[in-house]
């Protein structure tokens, strides 16, 4: 089979001709198809005919010997995040905020790359460059991004921090209730890497919320709305007292958002009378209502022993009267302020049982030590080294401290012989505090039950911190300069904003088998961008199944197209 040309009226025509042998064995030719005028068959038309013939005959469309394949790049997650980023207006907003930075590269694109990396595959700044080799970020010239640009973009973020945070506030403000905003505030600690010391170092040794021990770290405070949207953050020294962080954060919040009323909900570590006085003073200075719901920390529950002796019987009766033994709520006053008390009988039973087991273990140890000393005095020393009353005291006291039972089990270290007592009255007082939640609040126009419900919503901000430390992998931080640490925290905060907006969209229209942002991004990871060159022609394609296409649509995001810019 071959192509034969012929001329007619000065034009060249092409025909597809087949050779065959007739019955006598002679070679003959016959026309299979008329291909038309040669001057009208462009390269595109010829390639189209070839591809059509291959498709209909089942031959491979691509000749692997003549095709040049480029490594495929992950597209799905980056496409989704880019659409959310643009829907929030952060692309244009950051361009405005960073306009005065005279830098010869696209600052917004570099910052976006670092933010998206926290969400898709958290890496160090050098790791970001390796990650960029495996993904496609729409609208970003990834080949021109280098490590120096990443660091300079971080410096620009902090240099224009006020403008950047104003942009974020401007984009978030339409999502907030301007009349009554309930804000949740909490502080976490972020571990760091390195031992080098600097002047005015943010990296200070403090009690770690991750390990419970002393670690070199910095502290991060986050304000979040009742809907779970982060709206402000601040970085503090690693040894700062939590109670000292509340006033600066609320002041910053009021600078960013002109609200008529703010209700601050904060966890146990933030309750102090100084904080309460400061919040009330802020309200008077700003001319608006600054209310609060603050939990009483467990270490201060001893101050409420007498109060619980009076309230516990009533709460226990109310809880028992509730269907299924539900929660009982009441209120009283403390230090001249409203105190709401909730009693959960199921939680109380768990705490009491746990304490009882701890007391029994320590009591069993004490009895063993006493029997050993008695046997020694009776001339039956038993195995091992000889014990003394002093060594028995030391071992017993260590167990009491480890089990946090010093208020209930009393050992007289000054007595000549080993002896201890269990304070039954203190034990009963501790059990009366079990299952209790104590909340100090300035809200007078809300029922006690609603106050408790508002506080319990604070658990949502804890999930935000888990996202920061898990999905966004904020720690450990390898930066040492305070401004770079603040820039790292701001990048993670921007990532948390996008994460929470995605979470809100998921909740509004949940797909069948995707219930978390992490699972969503995992499902979209296999949406890949492919590129090859065939006979000098550049061909681009996207691998995406119907379920992935539906995921984009359920989040109100247009699925990626094959003709996206590379």
- Provide the whole-model pTM: 0.72
pLDDT digits 0-9 by tens, 207-218: 887 777 888 898
Overall size of the chain counted in residues: 566
Note the pLDDT of residue 201: 86
Q: Are 259 and 182 within 8 A, CB to CB?
A: no
Cα–Cα nearest to 296, from 308, 288, 284: 308
Angle at 49 between CA 45 and CA 52, to 5 degrees: 135
Architecture per CATH, domain 178-311+334-339+439-486, reads as 2-Layer Sandwich (3.30)
User: Using CA atoms, how far apart are residues 191 and 194, in angstroms rounded to an integer?
Assistant: 10
The domain ranges of the chain are 1-41, 178-311+334-339+439-486, 346-433
Q: For residue 295, give the 3-state DSSP assignment.
A: strand
pLDDT at 391 over 80: yes
- Partner residues linked to 438 by β-bridges: 341
Cα–Cα nearest to 231, from 290, 178, 299: 178
pLDDT digits 0-9 by tens, 22-72: 888 788 888 888 888 888 888 778 777 777 777 777 776 655 566 777 888
Q: For residue 62, give the 3-state DSSP assignment.
A: coil
pLDDT at 534 over 80: no
Rounded mean pLDDT of the chain? 84
Per the omega criterion (within 30 degrees of 0), is the bond before 108 cis?
Answer: no
Note the pLDDT of residue 352: 94
Q: For residue 192, give the 3-state DSSP assignment.
A: strand
Contacts 24+ apart (CB under 8 A), 546-549: 547/523, 548/76, 548/523, 548/524
pLDDT at 362 over 90: yes
526 — pLDDT class (breaks 50, 70, 90) = very high
User: Using CA atoms, how far apart are residues 480 and 503, in angstroms rounded to an integer?
Assistant: 32
DSSP character for 558?
A: P
pLDDT at 94 over 70: yes
């Amino acid at each position: 089979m071959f192509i034969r040309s012929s001329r007619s009226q000065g034009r060249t025509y092409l025909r597809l001709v087949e050779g065959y042998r007739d019955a006598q064995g002679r070679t003959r030719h016959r026309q299979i198809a008329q291909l038309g005028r040669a001057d009208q068959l462009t390269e595109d038309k010829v390639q189209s005919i070839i591809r059509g013939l291959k498709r209909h005959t089942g031959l491979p469309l691509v000749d692997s010997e003549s095709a040049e394949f480029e490594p495929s790049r992950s597209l799905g997650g980056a496409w989704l995040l880019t659409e959310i980023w643009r829907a929030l207006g952060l692309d244009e907003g950051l361009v405005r905020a960073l306009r005065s930075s005279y830098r010869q590269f696209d600052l917004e694109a570099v910052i976006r790359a670092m933010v998206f990396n926290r969400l898709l595959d958290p890496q160090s700044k050098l790791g970001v460059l390796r990650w960029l080799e495996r993904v496609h970020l729409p609208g970003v010239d990834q080949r021109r991004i280098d490590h120096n640009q990443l660091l300079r973009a971080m410096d620009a973020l902090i240099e224009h921090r006020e403008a950047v945070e104003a942009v974020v506030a401007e984009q978030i403000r339409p999502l907030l209730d301007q009349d009554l905003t309930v804000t949740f505030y909490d502080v976490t600690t972020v571990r760091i890497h390195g031992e080098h010391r600097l002047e005015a170092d943010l990296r200070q040794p403090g009690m770690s919320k991750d390990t419970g021990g002393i670690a070199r770290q910095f502290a991060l405070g986050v304000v979040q709305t009742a809907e779970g949207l982060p709206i402000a953050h601040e970085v503090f020294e690693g040894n700062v007292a939590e109670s000292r962080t509340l006033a600066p954060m609320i002041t910053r919040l009021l600078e960013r958002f002109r609200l008529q009323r703010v209700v601050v909900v904060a966890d146990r570590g933030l309750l102090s009378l100084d904080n309460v006085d400061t919040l009330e003073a802020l309200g008077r200075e700003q001319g608006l209502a600054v209310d609060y719901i603050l939990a009483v920390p467990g270490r201060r529950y001893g101050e409420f022993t007498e109060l619980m002796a009076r309230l516990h019987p009533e709460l226990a009766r109310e809880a028992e009267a509730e269907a299924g033994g539900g929660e009982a709520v009441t209120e009283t006053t403390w230090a001249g302020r409203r105190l709401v008390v909730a009693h959960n009988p199921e939680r109380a039973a768990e705490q009491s049982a746990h304490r009882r087991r701890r007391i029994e273990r320590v009591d069993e140890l004490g009895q063993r030590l006493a029997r050993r000393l008695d046997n020694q005095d009776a001339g039956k020393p038993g195995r091992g080294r000889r014990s003394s009353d002093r060594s028995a005291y030391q071992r017993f006291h260590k167990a009491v401290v480890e089990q946090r039972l010093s208020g209930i089990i009393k050992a007289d270290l000054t007595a000549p012989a080993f002896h201890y007592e269990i304070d039954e009255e203190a034990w009963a007082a501790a059990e009366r505090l079990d299952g209790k939640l104590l909340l100090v609040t300035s809200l007078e126009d809300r029922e006690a039950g609603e106050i408790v419900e508002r506080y319990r919503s604070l658990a949502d901000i804890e999930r935000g911190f888990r996202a920061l430390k898990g999905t966004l992998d904020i720690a450990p931080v390898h930066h040492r300069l305070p401004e770079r640490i603040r820039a790292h925290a701001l990048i993670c905060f921007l990532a948390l904003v996008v994460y929470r907006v995605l979470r809100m969209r998921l909740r509004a229209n949940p797909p069948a088998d995707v219930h978390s942002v992490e699972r969503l991004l995992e499902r979209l990871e296999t949406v890949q961008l492919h590129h090859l060159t065939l006979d000098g022609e550049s061909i681009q394609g996207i691998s995406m199944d119907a379920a992935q296409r539906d995921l984009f649509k359920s989040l109100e995001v247009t699925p990626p197209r094959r003709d996206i810019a590379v």
